[in-house]
Structure 1
Amino acid sequence: MRVLLTAAASVTAAGAAVWAERLLTRSRPETRYGRYARWVHPAGRWRAAPLNRVAGSRLLRLLGERVPPVAFVSDITDVVYVNYVVDARRLAPLVPAGLELQRVGERGDLAVLTFLGYRHGHLGPARLGRWRRLLPSPLQSNWRLYVRHARTGMTGVHFLSTAIGRTPHALGARLLAEGLPMHVLGRASRLVTADGRIDLRLDPGRGTAPDATARLVPLPERPVDGPWRSAFADYEEMLAHCVPQDRALSVQPWRGRLVRQEISLGIPLERCVPLSGTVTSAAAGALVDEAEPFAFLVPFVRFRFEGETYEPL
């Protein structure tokens, strides 16, 4: 009898979970970009199937929203910023309702898309102290727009996609961090040679992570012209727009609230190193059409995730 009752309870719980999943999917439908975009792991079909179900579960993400945020720290090295100046009309539809695109240029008709590639330095909870050095240092990429919350005037970045080279990190961010739509890279590498050349490769494999390949070299001085010139008066103005972004903004329309993730970077603009070279990316091409990339490097960043808070939309 006890076995029958246990089995009946399991069936009832499973049915309730399926019902809840379907109900939540109505209020949190699949989107082209962001945390509710399609998620596919790059592993083979049988291994990927259970991971895809976990990453796509609205119910698990609802439960993850109830977990208190934890301060994370990482000693990041060689952050490559690849940027595009794009017609704002092309990027504006990618911004969720409640936020607006930060527009640049004399007529305010342009906007910037940036993707970053970098290696973490023992990413983990700040409370671990020196024990954090035992944790891995995966390669990560963030794809972002620059946005503003009209009601409060707060500015920050909105992540269209993020990707990392380790599955546990991707699932943890996917389920627990509203602003990080984390995917898994099939292969990822970043080589920095003694003469400063940088080779970056982001390979999604069979998964849904964005792709990119870049071969870049440092320039001896900051350029006076480039693809950024259509939107900014000089190179320093461009850096001032792209670099001091210590806040990620996203929305939860089913709760009518803005989600803001506060981070600490503190990057001095004078440390940014201009880069020249080639960048190829189908993921970027789908967003920016024929816009020409321009890149720069930040050699070191002390990253700290401070916490996640909410505001009414």
Structure 2
Amino acid sequence: MRFRHPGWGPVARLFDWLANQRALARLRRAVFARLPFLRQESDVHDVVYLNWVVLLERVRPLVPDGVRIAERGGHAILTVLTYAHKHFGPAFLGQWRGICPSPLQSNWRLYVETIDGVAPAQPTVLFLANVFDSTAYAVGTRCFSDALPSHVAERFRHDVERDRIVTRIEGGAGSAPSLSSVVARSDERGLPAAYQAWFDTWEQAIAALSLQDAAIAAVPGLQRNAIAGIDLPIDLAQVQPLRVVEFAPGEWLQSLGATSAPFAFGVPWVHFRVLWERVLQPGGT
């Protein structure tokens, strides 16, 4: 999905040019291939997972060549994962990472079964889109990463109100997808019927949906995919069931069939790292 900034005027169009510039991406790959990967870190908090079982035929056009997503009976699981960063920046800064900003981010993803016919060595998701509230982070990740198809929202809210977490993502005239949700803490750990073809218990579901070690995405203009290694060591004992109080899908979610109240759970806090990234060669290597 091409990047489009939600603003108007020459500055917004400059951001569009930078984020979609393939020549710049080729130059960056040539230079960075000779340098160690610049690891990124953040302490993310108020993490909310919203999950839907959707028809495979609805999401299949979004799946790049070489990738097969997990499916059961003609259905797939779609997840929107939203959280607040705390000082997202290069790991080498150490305690000085505190000077880095703390953007809001939302990952929209499917779950990978095979890459070029081979099961991945670690649990892997397919990034469909990533949304930031920050133009700097959205355009920066577009310019310096192949595995993070980022967009910037016109408006983005994700914060705690008493015992509720309120999320509002509005793409406006830009390319970011939209949604609105309000979730509240719950003690109900029942597994919805739609997920019982996938998992036996609530605990098994949250482990499979949250413990992911890599992310893959299509690389525009290359006819290849990029994969990144991530470290998200979630303590499953800290995962909190969430009750959906309010939900309104944006146009893109509606087109994918994610219109009913999602299966939701949350994580209070986790240390997040991006460990490595590479463009896959034919054959998935």
Same fold (TM over 0.5): yes
Post-superposition offset of 1:99:
0.8
Post-superposition offset of 1:310:
4.2
Q: TM-score, normalised by structure 1?
A: 0.81
Of 149, 170, 185 in structure 1, the residue corresponding to residue 115 of structure 2 is 149
Q: More deviation in 62-71 or 93-102?
A: 62-71
Of 146, 151, 157 in structure 2, the residue corresponding to residue 178 of structure 1 is 146
* 2:100 partner letter: L
Kindly report which structure 2 residues correspond to 1:277-292, keeping only aligned pairs within 5 A, or say none: 277=244, 278-282=246-250, 283-288=252-257, 290-292=259-261
Percent identity over paired residues: 36
The answer to whether the aligner puts 1:76 opposite 2:40 as a matched pair is no
Post-superposition offset of 1:50:
1.4
Note if contact 1:110-1:231 (Cα within 8 Å) is conserved in structure 2: no
Q: TM-score, normalised by structure 2?
A: 0.88
How many residue pairs get aligned? The number is: 273
SS at match of 1:188: strand
Post-superposition offset of 1:269:
2.2
Q: Which runs of 5+ in 2 are unaligned?
A: none
Post-superposition offset of 1:127:
0.3
Matches of 1:183 and 1:250, distance apart in 2? 14
Post-superposition offset of 1:95:
1.0
Kindly report which structure 2 residues correspond to 1:44-123, keeping only aligned pairs within 5 A, or say none: 44-66=8-30, 67=32, 68=35, 69-104=37-72, 108-123=73-88
Post-superposition offset of 1:228:
2.9
The answer to whether the aligner puts 1:275 opposite 2:242 as a matched pair is yes
Kindly report which structure 2 residues correspond to 1:13-24, keeping only aligned pairs within 5 A, or say none: none
Post-superposition offset of 1:64:
2.3
Q: Which runs of 5+ in 1 are unaligned?
A: 1-36
Kindly report which structure 2 residues correspond to 1:87-236, keeping only aligned pairs within 5 A, or say none: 87-104=55-72, 108-147=73-112, 148-154=114-120, 155-194=123-162, 196-225=163-192, 227-236=194-203
Matches of 2:214 and 2:116, distance apart in 1? 15
Q: Which has the higher strand share?
A: 2
Post-superposition offset of 1:98:
0.7
Note if contact 1:85-1:291 (Cα within 8 Å) is conserved in structure 2: no
SS at match of 1:307: strand
Note if contact 1:86-1:291 (Cα within 8 Å) is conserved in structure 2: no
Q: 1:253 to 1:200 in 2, by over 3 A?
A: closer
Alignment RMSD: 2.0
Post-superposition offset of 1:177:
0.9
Post-superposition offset of 1:150:
4.0
Matches of 2:209 and 2:279, distance apart in 1? 24
SS at match of 2:256: helix
Note if contact 1:203-1:211 (Cα within 8 Å) is conserved in structure 2: yes
Q: Which has the higher helix share?
A: 1
Q: 1:255 to 1:61 in 2, by over 3 A?
A: closer
Aligned residue for 2:3? 39
Q: More deviation in 294-303 or 46-55?
A: 46-55
Output one character per residue of 1:59-107: Cα deviation in whole Å (capped at 9) or x when no partner.
1121222324310000000111111011223222321111101124xxx
Matches of 2:85 and 2:156, distance apart in 1? 13
* 1:201 partner letter: R
Post-superposition offset of 1:290:
4.1
Note if contact 1:227-1:293 (Cα within 8 Å) is conserved in structure 2: no
